[in-house]
Amino acid sequence: MLFGDDHAFFITAPKGWVLDNETGVPQGVHMAFYPAGHTWSNSPVIVYGRSVSKDRTIRSAEDQVARTLKDFHSHGSPKYKVAGKSSLALSNGKKAAIYFYEGDQWGNYEAAGYVEEQDTINFLVFNAPKKAYFDKHIAAFNKLLSTYRSVGRPRVIDDKAFNSLIKEAKQQSSTPAGGAYESSIVQTAGKAVADFMGQCMSYSKAEEVGPFDMIARIDPDGSVSDAFVRPINTLSTCFRGLFINLRHRSHDFKTFLLHIDMRIKDSPDDKAAPDGPKRNSI
């Protein structure tokens, strides 16, 4: 998952590819994929995730493409250009606009698949130093892009509404049936929750590592239809995004509200990583 204050989306690695969410972090890459058996440093191709917030100048994929070209032209690649364009239908009804790039100072061949969301432009970048590598792995890039699923940014609700949800969740869990269902979630999802916190803390700034509350709305089929967090920051947004992806056992309530009162004891350690392939960031 790639996440931030205004975005959170999932990409699933196809067979024969691996996710690396650690090595590229010093270069600002928190989600990278490459063929199994390779590393960030020696892989013939790299696919990585990005997101840009919409503002007055960036409102669409086309705007982001124009900014990319301008940035490359200003940083030593005056011949960088769009060499083609296509699109890919996604399972959520959206379409990804795919642009093909070439002509940078390193001779790379690239593709970027852009998905427009309410507040952001989310995209995957496929980078290959040789045309043969690009052609060999472009199908895998399309498979990666086709798995895109956004869980969006947390909705902002005021403290009164949030406290009301906490009260409702406590009332529900105080009943025999509600308490039993809450206990079953703790038993089955406890390890996943601990793992989520480890992942999210490793990406968060020190000042964002602190306590937060989350209210998750669990539908009768066990899926999480929504979740609210307080405060909203990188840590809580990351945790929310990962938790929404969990599936719990079904229940007989109209909806079940789960309150998680998260308390943090340790701060994340900074991790060093070797340099990756030379490239500008799209």
> What would the pLDDT profile of 177-231 be if each residue is shown by its tens digit?
999 999 999 888 888 878 777 777 766 677 777 889 999 999 999 999 989 999 9
Alpha-carbon dihedral of residues 23, 144, 226, 122, nearest 10 degrees?
70
- Cα 70 to chain centroid distance, Å, stands at 26
> Which tokens is 72 given?
């490359």
Task: Give start-end residues of each CATH 3.40.1000.10 domain in the chain.
Answer: 2-150
Mean pLDDT of the chain: 86
Q: Indicate the angle between helix axes 159-173 and 176-203, nearest 10 degrees.
A: 130
What predicted TM-score, i.e. pTM, was given to this entire model?
Answer: 0.68
Question: What is each CA distance from 220 to 170, 178, 186, 193, 244, in whole angstroms?
Answer: 18, 13, 17, 21, 14
Q: Using CA atoms, how far apart are residues 101 and 281, in angstroms rounded to an integer? A: 12
pLDDT band at 275 (very low <50, low <70, confident <90, very high): very low
| Whether 35 contacts 17, CB under 8 Å | yes
Peptide bond into 274 cis (omega under 30): no
pLDDT at 55: 92
Q: Using CA atoms, how far apart are residues 113 and 223, in angstroms rounded to an integer? A: 28
CB atoms near residue 236 (< 10 Å): 25
14-23, 44-53, 134-143, 167-176, range with the lowest pLDDT:
14-23
Half-sphere exposure of 128 (CA within 13 A, CB side): 20
Question: Closest by alpha carbon to 23, among 280, 279, 277, 195?
Answer: 277
Does residue 54 register a pLDDT over 60? Answer: yes
Question: What is each CA distance from 178 to 154, 215, 243, 254, 267, in whole angstroms?
Answer: 25, 15, 19, 12, 33
Of the CATH numbers 3.40.1000.10, 3.40.470.10, 3.60.15.10, 3.40.50.150, which one belongs to the domain with range 2-150?
3.40.1000.10
Does residue 16 register a pLDDT over 90? Answer: yes
> Which tokens is 90 given?
């996604």
Q: Which one has a higher pLDDT value, 122 or 28?
A: 122
Which amino acid is residue 31, in one-letter code?
A: M
Does residue 266 register a pLDDT over 60? Answer: no
- Give, as one character, the DSSP assignment of residue 247: B
pLDDT in tens, 240-256: 888 888 889 999 999 99
Residue located via tokens 């969301």: 117
Q: Using CA atoms, how far apart are residues 270 and 8, in angstroms rounded to an integer? A: 22
Phi, psi for 47 (deg, rounded to 5) = -120, 130
Q: Using CA atoms, how far apart are residues 169 and 164, in angstroms rounded to an integer? A: 9
Does residue 280 register a pLDDT over 60? Answer: no
Task: Give start-end residues of each CATH 3.30.1150 domain in the chain.
Answer: 159-262
Alpha-carbon dihedral of residues 63, 68, 69, 73, nearest 10 degrees?
140
Q: What is the CATH number of domain 159-262?
A: 3.30.1150
12-21, 77-86, 133-142, 205-214, range with the lowest pLDDT:
205-214
Question: Closest by alpha carbon to 228, among 32, 264, 236, 105?
Answer: 236
